[in-house]
Structure 1
Amino acid sequence: MNEQISLDEKLKSIEASIFKDEIKPFKDKLKIAQSLMKSFFEVSLEQIIQHVKKIVETIPNIRNILIVGGYGESSLLQESFKKEFPLSNIVIPNESSLAVIKGAVLFGHNPRAISARILRYFYGAAADDIFDPEIHPEEKRYVDENGIGRCKDAFGQLIAKDTKVPSKGKVVTEIELPLMPDQKSYDLRIYCTEKIDASVIDESFKYVGRLDISVPEYIEGEWEAEEHFVFGMAEINVSVTVRETGEKTESTFDLLE
């Protein structure tokens, strides 16, 4: 009998030791992890709501807000949207978690099925504009061969963030002139940014793509290049035509969305 009691006590001691050394620390870590996940979710939810608020403020008469994706199945997210946007009808379709995948498949089969999209960035090209001390940083200033002060890597905006781009595309046309009389080429570098009123390209910008434009040596004097940008649903079609020769250079870049 004493041996049985002694064995029971040993088992209880072992169980207590396991709980103390293994189970309890695991439960404590689980509580911390759950707390961090809840905090992360709440921060992410607030960021989503603030982003949607900006869109609602930009585009008038939004009556319906459609919530899709796995995140959209959260009851906390749904209730938060109903509270933050009481004048809008919050729609949660069946199988909302599959909506993004189904939309991608639908777009792949028929791009025109989606009528328009809203740009998330300002898109533009690098340029060597005339230096303006009011908007350009001094460290970007240089003097060209003609003695003209210019800004290196100035940002020439082509299209603004939050612009509604139809499925058929939105066209932007620019005319580029060489900086020097004997210049025979230039590179068209395209970037995008979330910065409002950005004047120069810095490390926060995202590189989109580049075209190298040139003219034959026999072309003398000034020449012009007509730059043609078509912002579509998921890409930018860029073509540049040298007016003096009719030569066209073109390429397609993905919109960084």
Structure 2
Amino acid sequence: MVLTPSICSHSIALGSQSDFGTTYSGCAYAYAQNEEVVDIVRWPKQNNNVYPKTPTLNFYQNTSSQMSQWGNAARLEMQKPTSRNSVLLKQYKLYLDENIAKELPPLPNGLTIVDAIAHYLQTFHGHVVQELKKGFARNYDQHQFRYCLTVPAMWSDRAKATMREAAVKAGLISTNDHRDRLMLISEPEAAALYCEKKCEQFNLKHGDRFMICDAGGGTVDLIVFQIEEGRHGRKLKECTKGHGQSCGSVFLDKRMRKLLKKKFRDYLQTIPAAAFEAMMDQFVDLIKPQFDGVDDQFLQLPAAMNLDSITNEAIGLEDGVLCLTAQDLKTEVFEPVICDVLALVDEQLQKARSLQAIFLVGGFGTSNYLFERAQQEFGRRVGLVAVPPRGELAVVRGAVLAGLNPRIVTTRIPRYWYGIDTTTTFEEGVDPPEYKIVRADGSVRCDNRFSVYVKRGVALDIDNCVSKEFFAYYPHHTTCTLYAADTEEQPRFTLSPGVRKVANFTIPMPALTGVREGEKVELTIKMYFGEVELRVEAVIKGKTYGTTCTFDADT
């Protein structure tokens, strides 16, 4: 069944503090009729705790490539003695950040990143469906739902396409469904929609600008929006080119792990791995969210530490309790990561020039210490630095709002130059001699020129469409290669530094009556760059056709 947005009776969003998150994932949903956002709060194997998220963990028995447990159940399974040679897959979302993925080891058990995400989403979705059926009873019809998966705004087009591929493989939608049945929503955009709903309590009005700092487990994304009041209600206009990087709270965990290893360096050979992980769990669950940079923190050692003595003044251990001084935590764990986040905020603030508010959202965004440092750095320059109510759910709740009204954000700022490979007039002394082409008619052309479709940093309306006229010989398909660059200056050549191939878009030639083999067929290729996902269509003989997109491994 093909589902179009016009017949959606419900909207559902899959996401969490950072969408399908690096460390946790969650879900919210709404009926289109009343737009009330409802959180899924019950998750398997979480001791009946009502908690609106579940760990992003996959468990694979031994060398199997079939996931057997997920979420908190995966964590519990890994603690069993029989699971010593098994795999607990975590933080694998980072593999979709190309800058980090190059440094990461291959996934175990022959898994691909699409496999890992699809395995998790399939079981995650199955649980969500069961929760929905409890409320919808016989009226539940999965085909009447729109799904909204949130993704970091910093992700490349290839990473977004990988996420869509995994969602299809997980069975959320089928390849025959209307494309809009699954929407990919930018995480900071989703958070902005949530904060916009809370604007009344923050007293923001028409023309005011606010920054979203979406700090999650793996990534931190920032975008500045301006509020536009109009006849059709309040809209949001992106007004700076957003920025982000992988400096989320998992990097605090890595630094904490390093600090603990330094403190217990004389005992590392005897401390069981499970005991070490139990210490890390205490840090993640108790110390990390509440740390304010002032008070020392205390960590209760697990019983199975295998230490000769439970007191060691040299490392701050007394009667089985480890004292972590505020200074050590600041210097060794928090400050290096927090400074990366503050540098991103400062960069956006300089671009925006003036702001009325900075909202910290996401799981890391609710950190007391991050708030204190942001207030300290930017409180005098910005009228309001705030963490909205339930800031860790801002992204998932905002994603539901986006599914209900995809056109609240009217303008976006592209982060890349986009263009195609073309030939133009050769300029002596400017273009490289090896790019020179002399045609049969005597004209001198330059090959490998970057023909710009979209300018980096220049605002685009969500309906922005670039159309180019082409022709093909029936019945052959047409392939168009799209390039992108994140350079400051507009690139001149497709082979210039910083330019990379985004994808090949194949335009399938439909069966046309009355057209002979070898006959020239005119077609228009339309590219939409104002949406979260790049969309390409072809118009042939007055009919619009979708395209298939192929991403190279090195894009």
TM range (shorter): 0.5 to 0.7
Write out aligned runs for 1:193-212 (5 A).
193-195=485-487, 196-202=489-495, 204=498, 205=500, 207-212=502-507
Partner Cα distance (2:526, 2:339) in 1: 44
Q: Distance in 2 between matches of 1:134 and 1:82?
A: 52
SS of equivalent to 2:534? strand
Q: 2:458 aligns with which of 163, 171, 175?
A: 163
Say which SS state the counterpart of residue 235 (structure 1) adopts: coil
The one-letter code sitting in structure 2 at the alignment partner of 1:219 is: E
Aligned to 1:126: 421
Q: Which has the larger radius of gyration?
A: 1
Spell out, residue by residue over 1:125-173, the C-alpha distance to the aligned partner (whole angstroms, 9 max, x if none).
2223333356544444444555544333322111222333444x11222
CA distance in 2, matches of 1:136, 1:213: 35
Q: What one-letter code is carried by the residue in structure 2 that aligns with 1:164?
A: A
SS, match of residue 48 in structure 1: helix
1:192 and 1:208 in contact (8 A); partners too? no
Q: 1:21 to 1:235 in 2, by over 3 A?
A: closer
Aligned twin of 1:70: 363
**TM-score after normalising by structure 2:** 0.33
Q: Which residue in the other structure is 2:528 paired with? A: 230
Q: CA separation of 1:224/1:132 partners in 2, compared to 1, >3 Å: closer, same or farther?
A: farther
Is it true that 1:44 corresponds to 2:341 in the alignment? yes
- Matches of 2:477 and 2:425 in 1, distance apart? 19
Corresponding residue for 1:10? none
**How many angstroms does 1:89 deviate by?**
4.4
Question: How many residues are aligned here?
Answer: 221
- The code of the aligned residue for 1:251 comes to T
**2:401 alignment partner, one of 106, 116, 127:** 106
Equivalent position of 1:150 in the other structure: 445
Q: In the alignment, is the contact (CA less than 8 A) between 1:136 and 1:199 conserved in 2?
A: no
- Quote the Cα distance in structure 1 between the aligned partners of 2:451 and 2:470: 12
Letter in 1 for 2:468: E
TM-superposition CA deviations, 1:40-79 (whole Å, max 9, x none): 321332133213422x15xxx7544444333433221233
Q: What does residue 5 of structure 1 align with?
A: none
Residues 1:219 and 2:513 aligned together: no
Q: Would you say the 8 A contact 1:141–1:152 is kept in 2?
A: yes
- Partners of 2:525 and 2:539 in 1: how far apart? 7
* Residues 209-242 of structure 1 deviation map (CA, whole Å, 9 limit, x = unaligned): 423477965436xx75433223343223323346
Question: Helix, strand or coil: the match of 2:445?
Answer: strand
Structure 1 counterpart of 2:538, from 240, 246, 256: 240
| CA deviation string 1:65-119 (max 9, x = no partner) | 4443334332212332324x34x54453222232122222322343224343332
In the alignment, what sits opposite 1:173? Answer: 467
**Inter-partner Cα distance in structure 1 for 2:375 and 2:419:** 37
Alpha-carbon separation, structure 1, partners of 2:544 and 2:338: 50
The gaps in structure 2 that reach 5 residues or longer are: 1-307, 318-323, 510-514, 550-555
Instruction: Give the distance between the partners of 2:470 and 2:440, measured in 1 at CA.
Output: 18
Q: Is the 8 A contact 1:236 1:252 kept in 2?
A: no
Task: Name the CA distance, whole Å, in 2 between partners of 1:139 and 1:78.
Answer: 55
How far apart are residue 198 of structure 1 and its match? Answer: 1.1
State how far apart, in whole Å, the 2-side matches of 1:146 and 1:207 are: 33
Normalised by the size of structure 1, how large is the TM-score? 0.63
Aligned CA distance change for structure 1 residues 241 and 42 (closer, same or farther; 3 Å): same
CA-based RMSD: 4.2
Tell whether the 8 Å contact from 1:119 to 1:161 is kept in structure 2 after alignment.
yes
1:190 equivalent in alignment to 2:471: no
Residue identity matched to 2:456: K
CA distance in 1, matches of 2:447, 2:360: 44
Report SS of the residue matched to 1:151: strand
Matched letter for residue 81 of structure 1: F
Once residues 177 and 146 of structure 1 are traced to their aligned partners in structure 2, the CA distance between those partners, rounded to angstroms, is 21
